[in-house]
Structure 1
Amino acid sequence: MKAIKYFSLALAIGSTNAFAGDCVAPAAPELPDGASSSMEDMLAGQKAVKTFQTANLEYMKCLEPALAEAEAAVKAGEEGAAEAYQSAQDTYNAAVSAEEAVAGQFNTEIREYKAANPQ
């Protein structure tokens, strides 16, 4: 299985996650190596991606109230609100990027699987 490495993404989430309180970002799944995996491995990978996507959507829903709060604070002109809002946006955007990266990598593995297993 290929492990997806999100060093910079993990740094982004870790550095901005303080505002989110109890929200915990899901870990990206390990994906099968499409060039050498069986169909069963690929199906398990697909299931792991779907599970991750579901968990990531829940995480993003958890972030939304804090994001809205930070935006309201900016509109109210509160001191330091712009930085808090930017941090909230960065955390939310990192979650979106993580989902896109997982889906993109899995699509690459599917192409590799199809190339290695022509029908």
Structure 2
Amino acid sequence: MQFIKYTAIALALGAAPAFAAECTAPASPTLPDGASSSMDDMLSGQQAVKAFQAANLEYMKCLEPSLAEAEAAVKAGDEGAEARYQQAQETYNAAVSAEESVAGQFNTEIREYKAANPK
């Protein structure tokens, strides 16, 4: 199930329109299984999540000029700009959703780790 969710996110991010061709979405990290992982595995997972978040932030920064350009074109009455703007918003929002999903799943794995390793 986790693989399917991350594949869907990767596909959504990879489907970036031509306006953001120079921007490359980061791959979602492989997360440890909290129920069966060691502390070292969990710490490695945490580092992978942090690296993903940093790369995703850079990706979103890369998308921002194209998003602003598309928005300005809509305001200027450029024909067809609305579709480009909507596509730009969807791509940016997919990046935000990917980060939220990865963070949420890692938090779930942390709770599973704590449940499997009570002090």
TM bucket (normalised to shorter chain) is over 0.9
Match of 2:45 in 1: 45
1:3-22 residue pairs with structure 2 within 5 A? 3=3, 5-22=5-22
User: Relative to structure 1, is the Cα distance of residues 15 and 58 closer, same or farther in structure 2, using a 3 angstrom cutoff?
Assistant: same
User: What residue ranges of structure 1 are gaps of 5+ in the alignment?
Assistant: none
* TM-score calculated relative to the size of structure 2: 0.93
- Aligned partner of residue 6 in structure 1, secondary structure: helix
Say whether residues 1:100 and 2:100 are aligned partners: yes
Offset at residue 18 of structure 1 (A): 2.3
**Structure 1 runs of 4+ with >2 Å offset:** 2-18
Alpha-carbon contact 2:14-2:25 (below 8 Å) kept: no
Offset at residue 19 of structure 1 (A): 1.8
Cα RMSD, aligned residues only: 1.5
> Number of matched residues?
118
Offset at residue 63 of structure 1 (A): 0.3
User: What residue ranges of structure 2 are gaps of 5+ in the alignment?
Assistant: none
Offset at residue 23 of structure 1 (A): 0.2
What is the rounded CA distance, in whole Å, between the counterparts of 1:16 and 1:25 in structure 2?
A: 8
* TM-score calculated relative to the size of structure 1: 0.93
- Aligned partner of residue 29 in structure 1, secondary structure: coil
Match of 1:115 in 2: 115
Match of 2:28 in 1: 28
* Percentage of identical aligned residues: 76
Offset at residue 8 of structure 1 (A): 3.2
